[in-house]
């Protein structure tokens, strides 16, 4: 295995129940068996499972995160919402912010910025999602979109803040498609150049159709520190296969 830590982050979306802890326990069992393991594993289940999973995995190699949060830090009249203070209190250490599924429901870059600030204030580590859609890609304005998302999303963020920036081309999510080598390298280089001007401590992740087949190619690309994994993270076998294949 490489000496470089690789982050494997599972975004469960609307999946899972209390008994689904067995999936994470199988992954943890695998991690315990691997010598010189350089994998950092994080699972982001629905809010309903955070506390239970965090308690059961307290002494494990797996950390727990949330999939989103409200932009207000304090309690308030926001029916159905959960803020970063509540997430932290439930036992999570991470939170995904800016996922495209929440962007299309109304999360603007400005709102995402507020969520990031609120979460940092409550000592959560941020997994900040960015990416262009198919129309934007075809118009060749990917850099413009990424620049806007990064500039506004991270405006006013302390340079010392630890941020995981997940590049997720929207057109690649759930389609089985991934960018070609040239485009992926070019976009990652652009992201890295932007982040260097804003943060001192960041990691770049890739998300979008990450599975046991595509991971070999994705992992071969420089400047990728880890992977944001959707549907494949709902199966312990598929998730473990992704980890195994990423080091081959």
The CATH code of the domain that includes 116 is 3.20.20.70
Four-point Cα dihedral 45, 156, 152, 11, nearest 10: -10
Q: Does residue 1 belong to any structural domain of this protein?
A: no
Q: Flag whether 96 is in a domain.
A: yes
Domain annotation covers residue 208: yes
**Angle at CA 208, nearest 5°, toward 179 and 148?**
80
**What is the pLDDT, as a whole number, of residue 99?**
98
pLDDT at 2: 44
Q: Which of 70, 71, 99, 212 is catalytic?
A: 99
C-alpha 59, offset from chain centre: 22
| Annotation says 99 is catalytic | yes
Q: Residues with Cβ < 8 Å from 198, sequence gap 6 or more?
A: 150, 154, 157, 159
Rounded (5°) CA angle 201-202-203: 140
Q: Higher-confidence residue: 92 or 36? A: 92
Q: How many CA atoms lie within 13 A of 216 on its CB side?
A: 5
Task: Say if 143 falls within a structural domain.
Answer: yes
Residue 148: the pLDDT is 98
- Characterize 176-186 residue by residue with b for buried, 16 or more Cβ atoms within 10 angstroms of its Cβ, and e for exposed: eebbeeeebee
Does residue 78 carry a catalytic annotation?
Answer: no
Encode pLDDT of 112-170 as tens digits. 999 999 999 999 999 999 999 999 999 999 999 999 999 999 999 999 999 999 999 99
In this structure, what token pair is assigned to residue 237?
A: 């076998």
Structure token pair of residue 223: 């400047």
Could you give the CA distance from residue 27 to residue 41 in angstroms, rounded to a whole number? 9
Domain, as residue range, for 159: 6-246
The token duo for 95 is 């939170």
Q: Is the Cβ–Cβ distance between 106 and 76 less than 8 Å?
A: no
Secondary structure element (H or E) that encloses residue 128, with its range: strand 125-130
Q: How many domains does the chain have?
A: 1
> Is 125 contained in some domain?
yes
Secondary structure class of 236 (helix, strand, coil): helix
The residue annotated as part of the active site, out of 71, 132, 168, 212, is 168
Q: What pLDDT, on the 0 to 100 scale, is given for residue 1?
A: 36
**pLDDT score of 3 more than 60:** no
Backbone φ and ψ of 239, nearest 5°: -65, -45
| Amino acid 227: pLDDT | 98
- pLDDT score for 35: 78
């Amino acid at each position: 295995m490489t000496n470089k830590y690789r982050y494997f982050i599972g975004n469960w979306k609307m999946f899972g129940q209390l008994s689904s802890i067995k999936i994470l326990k199988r992954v943890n069992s695998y991690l315990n068996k691997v010598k010189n393991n350089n994998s950092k594993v994080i699972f982001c289940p629905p809010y309903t499972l955070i506390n239970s999973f965090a308690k059961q995995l307290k002494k494990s190699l797996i950390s727990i995160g949330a999939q989103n949060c409200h932009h207000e830090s304090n309690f308030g009249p926001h029916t159905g919402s959960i803020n970063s203070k509540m997430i932290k209190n439930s036992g999570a250490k991470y939170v995904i912010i800016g996922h495209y599924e929440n962007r299309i429901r109304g999360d603007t870059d400005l709102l995402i910025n507020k969520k990031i600030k609120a979460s940092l204030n409550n000592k959560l580590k941020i997994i900040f999602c960015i990416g262009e859609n198919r129309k934007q890609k075809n118009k060749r304005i990917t850099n413009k979109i990424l620049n806007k998302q990064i500039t506004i999303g991270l405006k006013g963020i302390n340079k010392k803040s630890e941020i995981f920036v997940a590049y997720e081309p929207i057109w690649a999510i759930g389609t089985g498609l991934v960018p070609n080598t040239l485009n992926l390298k070019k976009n990652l280089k652009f992201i890295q150049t932007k982040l260097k001007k804003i943060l001192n401590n960041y990691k770049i992740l890739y998300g979008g159709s990450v599975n046991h087949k595509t991971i070999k190619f994705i992992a071969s690309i420089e400047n990728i520190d880890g992977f944001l994994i959707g549907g494949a993270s709902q199966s312990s076998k598929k998730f473990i296969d992704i980890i195994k294949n990423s080091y081959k």
